[in-house]
A = this chain, B = another copy of it.
Amino acid sequence: MSKPLYRQVADALRAEIADGVFGPGDDLPSERELRERFDASRNTVRQGLQLLVSEGLVNSSQGRAYQVRSHEIFVLNASKFENLQFSQREDGDSYDNEVLHAGRQPHQEFRVEMVKVPQDIAERLKVAPGEQGVLRFCHRFVDDTPWSTQATYYPKWLIDAHPRLAEPDDIEEGSTRYLADRGLEQVGYHDELMTRMPTPEEARELQIGPGVPVLIWIRTGFSTDKPVRCTRTTFRGDLNHITYDLGDLRAHATGGDLH
């Protein structure tokens, strides 16, 4: 009838975290202390703590105490991001702009490859499955914390016309702007948003422990007659929000800052 003991442990600690008994960054009592407090075995206490970890509330690492997670959230306004009609006045990469604007230090690791376009991306780009394309991959950091990974795929026909995009160095003004300046303007975007738990690989790349989901944003950019590129961005779900502004928002003072 009564709740399992390990859930009582988790619920009690969760409530105390919510009530501020343990604030962000604070250490929780050690397993030994919790064992005494709840008169439970170490296994049971660990099971309860594991629950909190899997809810993303608590961090654990060998040798150190369990620690309450603290978050600083970056908000990305997707209806402005990369949007030509908004970024007219800005120079350089849209991402750097967003982050610098928030007073943080951005940093990226860049990679360009010739690859077979994955099945799901090929569908979005309307190219034959298995066709070659260019992948521009970017691992983004903010103040040296991994923040997101971004993979942009360009179809072969576009690379043939604009081989610059296959070169392994960064494009100063941003590739969307680069293409627009050369007559290939993206006039429409189709965005898809989803969430799931990270694969082990994603967890490693983004340095997220268990209990933190990823937020996936897939943007397909269209010219007037066909898809031009497809970008899949994988965010740490605990550090990122995405916003959209639709219609007339004179009444709303938008804020794209760190919260």
Interface residues of A (CB under 8 A from B): 11, 14, 51, 54-56, 75, 78-79, 83, 186-200, 210-215, 220, 222-227, 237-238, 240-252, 254
Closest CB in chain B relative to A201 CB, distance in Å: 11
Asked whether A194 and B241 contact (CB < 8 A) given A83-B246, A200-B11, A210-B54, the answer is: yes
Name the residue of chain B whose CB is nearest to the CB of A47.
B50
- Complex: how many Å from CA A248 to CA B151? 23
Name the residue of chain B whose CB is nearest to the CB of A254.
B190
A-B contacts, 9 of them at CB < 8 A, read A55-B199, A188-B249, A188-B251, A191-B244, A193-B193, A194-B242, A195-B213, A196-B213, A225-B251
Chain B residues with CB under 8 A of A213: 195-197, 213, 237
Which residue, A190, A199, A250, has most C-beta atoms of chain B within 10 A? A190
Asked whether A252 and B188 contact (CB < 8 A) given A78-B244, A210-B54, the answer is: yes
Chain B residues with CB under 8 A of A11: 200
The answer on a CB contact under 8 Å between B54 and A197 is yes
Which residue, A75, A198, A211, A254, has most C-beta atoms of chain B within 10 A? A211
Partner of A252, one of B190, B196, B249: B190
Closest CB in chain B relative to A101 CB, distance in Å: 18
- Complex: how many Å from CA A196 to CA B238? 7
- Complex: how many Å from CA A63 to CA B198? 28
- Complex: how many Å from CA A215 to CA B245? 18
